[in-house]
Chains A and B, each alone.
Chain A
Amino acid sequence: MKLSHDEVRKIARLARLGLTDAEVEKFSKQLSDILSYSKMLDEVDTSGVEPIAQITGLTTVTFADELKPCENPEELLKCSPNPTKDGLIQVKSVFE
């Protein structure tokens, strides 16, 4: 498997990850190596097998749907590197 520079740039854009040209070059090779290696999974017969993501067999865990107050909204807002106003975080505009 070979990931082209354009494919690497496209994935990076999907993930909102800015890359330099040197990084695109490096990751194109490294990711191609890793993905090629991963293709060995094709050797395993998985026909009729259900995929698994919860490994200890837990099924839907629920809790009471009750409103609880946030204990420290001011402290949480203080973590933001951006300006805040009226309990909201101010971000850059979506359009220029």
Chain B
Amino acid sequence: MTYYPMIHLTIAEAHRGLKSKKFSCVELTKAYLERIKKVDQKIHAYLTVTSETALEAAKTIDKKGQFSNALTGIPISLKDVVCTKGIKTTGASKMLENFVPPYDAHVWERLQAAGCVLLGKVNTDEFTMGSSTENSFFGPTRNPWNLDYVPGGSSGGGAASVAADECAFSIGTDTGGSIRQPASLCSTVGLKVTYGRVPRHGVMSYAASFATIGPLAKTVEDIALIMNVIAGNSEHDATTPDIPVPDYTKFLKKDLKGLTVGVPKEFFGEGVEAEVADTIHREIEVLKKLGATVIDVSLPLTKYAIPAYYILVKSEASADMARYDGIRFGYATKDAKNLEEFYMKTRGEGFGDEVKRTIMLGTYALSAGYYDAFYLKAAKVRALMKREYEEVFKQCDVLAAPVSPMAGFKIGDKADDPLAMYMADILTVPINLAGVPAMSVPAGFSKAGLPIGLQLIANQYKEETLIHVGHAYEQATEWHKQKPTL
């Protein structure tokens, strides 16, 4: 028996199939496990496949036979920084190579309560630090559209697993583009939520004032269904405000009448490939045809986003990484004379290059004599950027721009040049600095056949606007229906 047609289904379609008993949750789960077995040796999206527990969970769900929630019985992957009780969670780091968390991340608790089935844990740059998934201790993930290319990062394993139909959807994290950029490079939908919209309890932290958790999925409708389960405040995370969560499926409308779309000229300037800029300009015409008013807007501080972002994020990360000291969990050196040498060796042996650069850069920017010139200066520029976004959203409801300045890059191309790698985030980090939500939706392909994503950006807590615009756009286009050949 072949299970293959099921793996292409969206969440909404799979839900209808499960509910009408067209197929069982066990059959759906087996279909994905077979797919993983068949294609993942080429892609390396998964670090851990949890076949046994997945099938057990699927059996239990079939026995109950209740598919009241749209996510009940839906097989998923989780980025390997989301703690899963009893299941290895590595952060793609040697530091946590054998770490088995004693508790579940809150977002995973919410997904389990809805009845999701975990297929496994997917690859990321070490502790999410990177834009290509090459910084994984376990080796890179490959882009399903072209195996010589990176899938983007840091949620590269998640985006690849969705694009290759190795799961129905994935949960990733976005600190500076880590959901949107891989979504763009792999032709999936990816949502970066407003800071604090989804609780981060139990998810390994990169930079506490920037990091967000969000979904990667096949359609905007699916994003709405996932958000209905994972969004909302929690006592486990003090940064989640008590703002009501709407039913996001109510915003799946077909036209954009009465909506104003702003096109920020700085997102089409220096460093952005002409092919990418042209594609996005062409797709903005689709928004116009759907009834939106399109206006030109300006965000002049955009060119300062990379230095402001990297100074602040690396500073926060240098503190976040202090917990990996070999005492309470994770890797510990075998050979040290005293406690200081134990720390030095454990951290020197356990961390990869980008994490080391991060700790050094952050420690320097926060150290006496440099704090004002680097950290404080960047935090003031961030305040100005937030103001700039507040102003721009007085003129329009949503911004439309590219996600990635290039349609893709080859594995190895930027691996030895950290500054060139940071530049890959030039169009995504401003959004995290401003704390606003943004979404990548499939919007075309380069001449070389690599996916290009359209970035939609809205004001804080306006995820529903992104879902509205993204869905209407998706209904008018066919890009999201294309599949890579594997």
Using a CB–CB cutoff of 8 Å, the interface residues on chain A facing chain B are: 3, 8, 11-20, 23, 27, 30-31, 33-35, 37-44, 46, 49-56, 58, 61, 63, 72, 75-76, 78-82, 89, 91-96
CB within 8 Å for A80 and B380 given contacts A27-B356, A58-B239, A91-B342: no
Complex partner residue of A16 from B100, B304, B310, B347, CB under 8 angstroms = B347
Chain A residues in 8 Å Cβ range of B311: 38, 41
Q: Dominant SS at the B interface?
A: helix
Contact B384 A81 (CB under 8 A): no
A-B CB contact pairs (8 Å), 5 listed: A15-B363, A18-B344, A27-B356, A46-B377, A79-B99
Cβ of B178 within 8 Å of any chain A Cβ, yes or no, is no
Cβ of B328 within 8 Å of any chain A Cβ, yes or no, is yes
Chain A residues in 8 Å Cβ range of B345: 18
Q: Smallest distance from the beta carbon of B278 to chain A beta carbons, Å?
A: 28
Contact B360 A55 (CB under 8 A): no
Complex partner residue of B196 from A15, A23, A40, A56, CB under 8 angstroms = A56
Contact A58 B338 (CB under 8 A): no
Contact A27 B301 (CB under 8 A): no
Chain A residues in 8 Å Cβ range of B308: 41
CB within 8 Å for A49 and B380 given contacts A18-B345, A89-B327: yes
Q: Which residue of B lies closest to A80 (CB)?
A: B328
Contact A41 B304 (CB under 8 A): yes
Say which one of B44-52, B117-125, B288-296, B329-337 lies at the interface with A: B329-337
Cβ of B102 within 8 Å of any chain A Cβ, yes or no, is yes
Give Cα A23 to B419, complex, Å: 17
Q: Which residue of B lies closest to A14 (CB)?
A: B363
Q: Smallest distance from the beta carbon of B436 to chain A beta carbons, Å?
A: 9
Complex partner residue of B241 from A31, A51, A56, A72, CB under 8 angstroms = A56
Contact B307 A40 (CB under 8 A): yes
CB within 8 Å for A38 and B310 given contacts A72-B102, A76-B102: yes
Contact B195 A11 (CB under 8 A): no
Using a CB–CB cutoff of 8 Å, the interface residues on chain B facing chain A are: 99-100, 102-103, 194-196, 209, 235, 238-239, 241, 301, 304, 306-308, 310-311, 318, 325-332, 336-345, 347-349, 351, 356-357, 359-361, 363-364, 367, 374, 376-384, 386, 418-419, 422, 433-435, 460
Q: Which residue of B lies closest to A76 (CB)?
A: B102
Contact B380 A46 (CB under 8 A): yes
Q: Which residue of B lies closest to A13 (CB)?
A: B344
Contact B304 A44 (CB under 8 A): yes
Give Cα A83 to B402, complex, Å: 52
Contact B419 A17 (CB under 8 A): no
Complex partner residue of A41 from B241, B336, B357, B377, CB under 8 angstroms = B377
Chain B residues in 8 Å Cβ range of A76: 102, 328
Chain A residues in 8 Å Cβ range of B328: 76, 79-80, 89
Complex partner residue of A81 from B103, B310, B326, B374, CB under 8 angstroms = B326
Q: Smallest distance from the beta carbon of B474 to chain A beta carbons, Å?
A: 28
Q: Which residue of B lies closest to A79 (CB)?
A: B329
Chain B residues in 8 Å Cβ range of A49: 380, 383-384
Contact A58 B336 (CB under 8 A): no
Give Cα A26 to B345, complex, Å: 19
Contact A23 B356 (CB under 8 A): yes
Give Cα A75 to B100, complex, Å: 10
Complex partner residue of B418 from A34, A55, A61, CB under 8 angstroms = A34
CB within 8 Å for A18 and B347 given contacts A38-B307, A41-B308, A89-B327: yes
Contact A44 B384 (CB under 8 A): yes
Complex partner residue of B238 from A38, A61, A91, CB under 8 angstroms = A61
Give Cα A19 to B99, complex, Å: 24
Q: Smallest distance from the beta carbon of A55 to chain B beta carbons, Å?
A: 3
Give Cα A42 to B307, complex, Å: 11
Most buried by A among B194, B326, B356: B356
Q: Which residue of A lies closest to B101 (CB)?
A: A79
Contact B386 A52 (CB under 8 A): yes
Chain A residues in 8 Å Cβ range of B209: 53-55
Chain B residues in 8 Å Cβ range of A18: 344-345, 347-349
Give Cα A82 to B306, complex, Å: 40
Complex partner residue of B330 from A35, A55, A56, A81, CB under 8 angstroms = A81
Contact A31 B360 (CB under 8 A): yes
Contact B419 A37 (CB under 8 A): yes
Q: Which residue of B lies closest to A36 (CB)?
A: B419
Give 7 closest A-B pairs by Cβ, nearest first: A18-B348, A55-B435, A51-B379, A18-B344, A46-B380, A75-B102, A81-B332
Chain B residues in 8 Å Cβ range of A93: 338-339
Contact A19 B304 (CB under 8 A): no
Q: Smallest distance from the beta carbon of A2 to chain B beta carbons, Å?
A: 13
Chain B residues in 8 Å Cβ range of A81: 326, 329-332
Chain A residues in 8 Å Cβ range of B326: 81-82
Give Cα A43 to B327, complex, Å: 43
Contact B378 A94 (CB under 8 A): no
